[in-house]
């Protein structure tokens, strides 16, 4: 931590608070290197913001409920709601550890519900694809079309999408597939028409990441940084990786793909995701249902 320098903070803002921030994080006692980096990133951005607000470098003045809540409300507008919820949780936990007088407890209401993943409608999908194709620069078009193709065409987890390259595209039984590495390694057929998008990227830029974007491992707002300069009109739905994945799963559920096979392709080991998405499936005709259940 002594050598840590935050990427998201200007050097002139970091220098006055560096020693104070390091001392705070040392008292949090992160057990692993990754946890230490996460704690330094979260704390450094918070302390720099508080210092800019005129607060003294005093733990009891900075790490208070009011200051943390104000920071989450106005100090990190680049973070999506789920990331702000995580950051607030981390700061509250750190604050309890490093202060003695600040009035902590009880925890405030959650920023998000238990399950906020909602699949896109066909009209929303059409609009997102249209907006992606109309971006004015090749870089923006590549990034938007690629993220939509991966999410809607392969249902990859948000954490899996960033390191995929054209080398992960393989052929199986005459169809383009994505070889997803990692803990849930699997080979996923690419749902048309998104196979054409990924095939074109492979042909035009072999060896590159499919997104055409080098994401920093420590960045919790990678999607925001990738598309921050994209031209997204007001009627374009917010692009969320988890919702793209849910849309892919729902489409295959509607098309009656074998559930065990779909679970394997989705990289899931329980039925929780399917159970959540059942609410979005179209109703089935009673006569058709009876015939299915009484088939011989």
Q: Residues 138-165: what's their mean pLDDT?
A: 92
Q: Residues 32-53: what's their mean pLDDT?
A: 91
Ordered by where they begin, the domains of the chain are 11-98 (no CATH), 122-287 (1.10.443.10)
pLDDT of residue 46: 95
| Strand 169-172 relative to strand 186-189, pairing | unpaired
For residue 18 the two structure tokens come to: 């560096």
Query: pTM surpassing 0.75?
Result: no
111-145 burial: b if 16+ Cβ within 10 Å, else e: beeeeebbbbeeebbebbbebbeebeeeebbbbbb
pLDDT tops 60 at residue 286 = yes
pLDDT of residue 144: 93
For residue 206 the two structure tokens come to: 């072999």
Average the pLDDT over each of 114-128, 151-165, 178-192 and give the range with the smallest value.
114-128
Measure CA of the first residue to CA of the last residue in the chain; give whole Å.
Answer: 67
Q: Residues 136-148: what's their mean pLDDT?
A: 92
pLDDT tops 60 at residue 107 = no
pLDDT of residue 216: 64
> Which residue has tokens 């392709």?
265
DSSP 11-37: HHHHTTTHHHHHHHHHHH---SHHHHH
């Amino acid at each position: 931590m002594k050598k840590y320098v935050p990427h998201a903070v200007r050097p002139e803002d970091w220098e006055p608070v560096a020693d104070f921030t390091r001392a705070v994080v040392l008292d949090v006692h992160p057990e692993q290197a990754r946890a230490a980096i996460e704690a330094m990133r979260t704390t450094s951005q918070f302390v720099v913001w508080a210092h800019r607000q005129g607060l003294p470098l005093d733990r009891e003045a900075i790490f208070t409920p009011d200051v943390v809540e104000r920071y989450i409300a106005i100090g990190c507008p680049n973070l999506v709601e789920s990331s702000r919820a995580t950051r607030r949780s981390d700061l509250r936990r750190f604050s309890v550890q490093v202060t003695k007088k600040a009035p902590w407890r009880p925890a405030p209401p959650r920023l998000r519900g238990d399950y906020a993943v909602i699949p896109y409608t066909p009209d929303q999908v059409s609009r997102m694809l249209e907006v992606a194709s109309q971006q004015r620069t090749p870089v923006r078009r590549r990034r938007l079309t690629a993220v939509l193709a991966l999410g809607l065409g392969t249902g990859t987890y948000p954490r899996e999408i960033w390191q995929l390259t054209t080398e992960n595209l393989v052929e199986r039984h005459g169809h383009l597939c994505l070889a997803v590495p990692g803990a849930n390694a699997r080979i996923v057929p690419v749902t048309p028409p998104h196979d054409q998008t990924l095939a074109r990227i492979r042909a035009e830029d072999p060896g590159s990441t499919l997104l055409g974007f080098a994401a920093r491992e420590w960045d919790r707002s990678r999607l925001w940084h990738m598309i921050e300069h994209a031209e997204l009109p007001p009627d374009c739905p917010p692009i969320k990786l988890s919702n793209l994945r849910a849309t892919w799963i729902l489409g295959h559920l509607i098309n009656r793909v074998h559930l065990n096979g779909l679970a394997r392709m989705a990289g899931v080991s329980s039925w929780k995701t399917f159970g959540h998405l059942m609410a979005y499936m179209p109703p089935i005709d009673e006569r058709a249902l009876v015939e299915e259940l009484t088939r011989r």
